[in-house]
């Protein structure tokens, strides 16, 4: 049944409103919208923190120190979590935060002094390897992320100091002071955790920046370029169906990866082409130094922990076509 002109106009007007909203034209404020805006005010100080350039001198010194301490490269790769396929810092965080959360519960109940003291010490001791892995990841981030990250680290250091003082007070028999210091430490842990969540989820540090490629690239074979148009032995960028691809040609063999680095979206075609023993041709990201095999996309060196999407290729006539397996 065809809509009446009035109904069609009404439908069209509704689509226009939705289109305006989708394109960033804000609708008139409503009570719900105003409430949401009030809730987001908590993010304003952190947004300012992201651009607080006064922290940069401290960041530069700390970053150089961290990169010196995590040498050789194999150690840094381990701290990033390359052998495990994703960062290990979030896993290690569970130990101190879990121990200290348990302390907060035990301190509210009588007769748990010894158990609480043991858990305070457990949290303090486990905080060291947790911090080391976090600092290794932090040293390979963007400036805005590093500014939030260094405050996150300082807050957590405050928490460790408070819990260390709590343990000393408890050991000396001053349980009241020990509990007070522990609760202050728990507040610092919560603040540090909030900043860590902002860093991980709002600023997308440590996540796979190529996860969306299989959902954006069409299924089936797609035309890439004429074989003759691809320079021999060079890294070049080509765009297929809106997706930037890294292309490397050797004779009649063409290797193709996503051009967006899985670590923090660096342009791989601007990186360095190297030959790794047993791996063949590899590319090193120009932004943070992640190295990937051009043959299978695997991570050879971090800070990236997620492999690059690999495209199959074939030459039909004189033209090269690409296929992304498992594309939606």
pLDDT digits (tens, 9 = 90+) for 261-308: 999 999 999 999 998 888 889 999 999 999 999 999 999 999 999 999
Answer yes or no: is 207 within a domain. Answer: no
Together in a domain, 9 and 66:
no
Query: What's the structural domain count of the chain?
Result: 3
Answer yes or no: is 285 within a domain. Answer: yes
pLDDT band, very low/low/confident/very high, at 40 (cuts 50, 70, 90): low
Together in a domain, 28 and 63:
no
User: What value does the mean pLDDT take over residues 115-119?
Assistant: 97
The label of the residue with tokens 């008139």 reads 28
User: What value does the mean pLDDT take over residues 17-31?
Assistant: 44
Q: Is this model's pTM higher than 0.85 or not? A: no
Answer yes or no: is 208 within a domain. Answer: no
Residue 210 is predicted with a pLDDT of 96
For residue 290, give the nearest of 58, 59, 82 by alpha carbon.
82
Specify the CATH number for the domain of residue 299.
Answer: 2.102.10.10
CA dihedral 67, 70, 74, 79 (to 10 degrees): -100
Answer yes or no: is 156 within a domain. Answer: yes
pLDDT band, very low/low/confident/very high, at 38 (cuts 50, 70, 90): low
Answer yes or no: is 288 within a domain. Answer: yes
Together in a domain, 306 and 276:
yes
Answer yes or no: is 328 within a domain. Answer: no
Residue 222 is predicted with a pLDDT of 95
Percentage of the chain exceeding pLDDT 90? 80
Together in a domain, 314 and 174:
no
Predicted confidence (pLDDT) at residue 130 exceeds the cutoff of 90? yes
Predicted confidence (pLDDT) at residue 143 exceeds the cutoff of 60? yes
Together in a domain, 40 and 56:
no
pLDDT digits (tens, 9 = 90+) for 222-233: 999 999 999 999
pLDDT digits (tens, 9 = 90+) for 149-194: 999 999 999 999 999 999 999 999 999 999 999 999 999 999 999 9
Residue 276 is predicted with a pLDDT of 81
pLDDT digits (tens, 9 = 90+) for 41-71: 777 888 889 999 999 999 999 999 999 999 9
Mean per-residue pLDDT over the chain, rounded: 89
CA dihedral 126, 129, 131, 135 (to 10 degrees): -170
Predicted confidence (pLDDT) at residue 14 exceeds the cutoff of 90? no
pLDDT band, very low/low/confident/very high, at 18 (cuts 50, 70, 90): very low
Residue 77 is predicted with a pLDDT of 97
Higher pLDDT, 175 or 16: 175
Answer yes or no: is 236 within a domain. Answer: yes
Together in a domain, 39 and 57:
no
Higher pLDDT, 150 or 30: 150
Residue 28 is predicted with a pLDDT of 52
**Phi-psi category of 218—alpha, beta or left, where left has phi over 0 and alpha has psi -120 to 50?**
beta
Percentage of the chain exceeding pLDDT 70? 88
User: What value does the mean pLDDT take over residues 113-119?
Assistant: 97
DSSP string, 83-94: GGTS-SHHHHHH
Together in a domain, 119 and 137:
yes
pLDDT digits (tens, 9 = 90+) for 66-107: 999 999 999 999 999 999 999 999 999 999 999 999 999 999
The distance between the two most distant Cα atoms of the chain, rounded to a whole number of Å, is 85
Residue 295 is predicted with a pLDDT of 93
Angle CA 51–160–57, to nearest 5: 30
Which structural domain, as residue segments, surrounds residue 235?
213-323
Q: Which of 153, 181, 202 is the last residue of a domain?
A: 202
Together in a domain, 174 and 312:
no
Residue 19 is predicted with a pLDDT of 37
Together in a domain, 225 and 195:
no
Answer yes or no: is 59 within a domain. Answer: yes
Together in a domain, 41 and 65:
no
Residue 260 is predicted with a pLDDT of 97
The label of the residue with tokens 């979590």 reads 81
Together in a domain, 67 and 142:
yes
Helices 143-171 and 113-138 cross at an angle (nearest 10°) of 160
Residue 143 CA to residue 203 CA, distance in Å, equals: 11
Together in a domain, 42 and 68:
no
Q: Which of 168, 202, 236 is the last residue of a domain?
A: 202
Per this entry, what is the length of the chain?
328
pLDDT digits (tens, 9 = 90+) for 101-113: 999 999 999 999 9
């Amino acid at each position: 049944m065809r809509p009446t002109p009035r109904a069609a106009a009404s439908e069209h007007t509704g689509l226009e409103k939705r289109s305006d909203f989708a394109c960033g034209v804000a609708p008139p404020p409503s009570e719900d919208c105003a409430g949401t805006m009030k809730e987001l005010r908590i993010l304003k100080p952190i947004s300012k923190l992201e651009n607080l350039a006064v922290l940069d001198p401290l960041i530069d010194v700390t970053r150089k120190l961290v990169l010196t301490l995590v040498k050789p490269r194999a150690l840094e790769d381990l701290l990033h979590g390359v052998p495990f396929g994703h960062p290990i810092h979030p896993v290690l965080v569970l130990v101190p935060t879990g121990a200290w959360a348990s302390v907060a519960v035990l301190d509210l109940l009588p007769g748990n002094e010894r158990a609480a003291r043991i858990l305070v010490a457990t949290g303090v001791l486990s905080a060291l390897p947790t911090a080391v892995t976090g600092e290794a990841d932090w040293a390979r981030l963007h400036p805005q992320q590093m500014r939030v990250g260094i405050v996150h680290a300082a807050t957590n250091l405050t928490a460790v100091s408070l819990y260390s003082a709590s343990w000393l007070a408890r050991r000396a028999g001053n349980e009241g002071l020990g509990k007070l210091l522990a609760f202050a430490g728990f507040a610092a842990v919560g603040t540090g955790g909030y900043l860590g969540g902002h860093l991980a989820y709002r600023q997308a540090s440590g996540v796979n920046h190529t996860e969306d490629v299989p959902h954006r690239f069409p299924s089936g074979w797609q035309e890439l370029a004429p074989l003759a148009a691809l320079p021999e032995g060079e890294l070049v960028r080509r765009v297929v169906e809106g997706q930037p691809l890294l292309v490397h040609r050797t004779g009649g063999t063409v290797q193709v990866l996503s051009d967006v680095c899985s670590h923090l979206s660096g342009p791989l075609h601007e990186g360095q082409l190297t030959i790794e023993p047993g791996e063949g041709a590899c590319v090193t990201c120009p932004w943070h130094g992640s190295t990937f095999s051009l043959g299978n996309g695997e991570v050879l060196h971090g800070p990236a922990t997620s492999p690059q999407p690999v495209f199959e290729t074939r030459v039909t006539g004189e033209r090269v076509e690409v296929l992304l397996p498992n594309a939606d």
